[in-house]
Chain A
Amino acid sequence: QQPVQSPQAVILREGEDAVINCSSSKALYSVHWYRQKRGEAPVFLMILLKGGEQKGHEKISASFNEKKQQSSLYLTASQLSYSGTYFCGTENMDSSYKLIFGSGTRLLVRP
């Protein structure tokens, strides 16, 4: 039931792009994305809903492929502040209100 994230870790130079993937074997209602810095709480980035539109801001965006039960997080022109661990959380169609998290993707952005 836990979603699978890939890659497990990414190292970037400042200004490079990255894609983090999240996939589930279950039919999904929603996908959440969070970023956690060391020693801190996870911080909400965005939510994608079944039937909804792709969400995002200028440099961080995400998509949700309902047919494949997959979501991708796109980090464009990465900044040092993007470093941290990114988690996707999925809510299945048959178990509402429960958000189950993947094991995370560690992102390190170097100068």
Chain B
Amino acid sequence: NAGVTQTPKFRVLKTGQSMTLLCAQDMNHEYMYWYRQDPGMGLRLIHYSVGEGTTAKGEVPDGYNVSRLKKQNFLLGLESAAPSQTSVYFCASSYRQDYGYTFGSGTRLTVV
């Protein structure tokens, strides 16, 4: 039982490049989330999904897109990377609204 798996774990991008971060969960969780965490700061919600085929904007959605074509996968896309998107990205999932979140181990992204 792997839980929440994020790929890749590390990535360096040049300004203007695009990439996709993959989040996969094997717990049959309905809800999935993407957060970013900057040094010394809390977690800020980028986008989230409450079920297969659904997505919604969080606190800081600009510059990112997401897709949830399959229940177990939640993809985060950066269309044109900027240095301000240098961060650690965490994916999380939960069974339903009244349950705690399970986080993936994170993706450390650097945009140069």
Contacts and interface: CB of A to CB of B under 8 A. Distances in A.
Contacts, number: 57
A49 B33 contact: no
B43 A87 contact: yes
Interface string A78-93: 0000000001010100
A64 interface: no
Given A42-B90, A87-B43, A103-B41, A97 B102 contact: no
Contacts of A89: 43, 101
The dominant DSSP class at the B interface is: loop
Interface residues of A, number: 26
Contacts of A103: 41-42
B33 A99 contact: yes
Interface of A: 1-2, 30, 32, 34, 40-47, 49, 87, 89, 91, 96-104
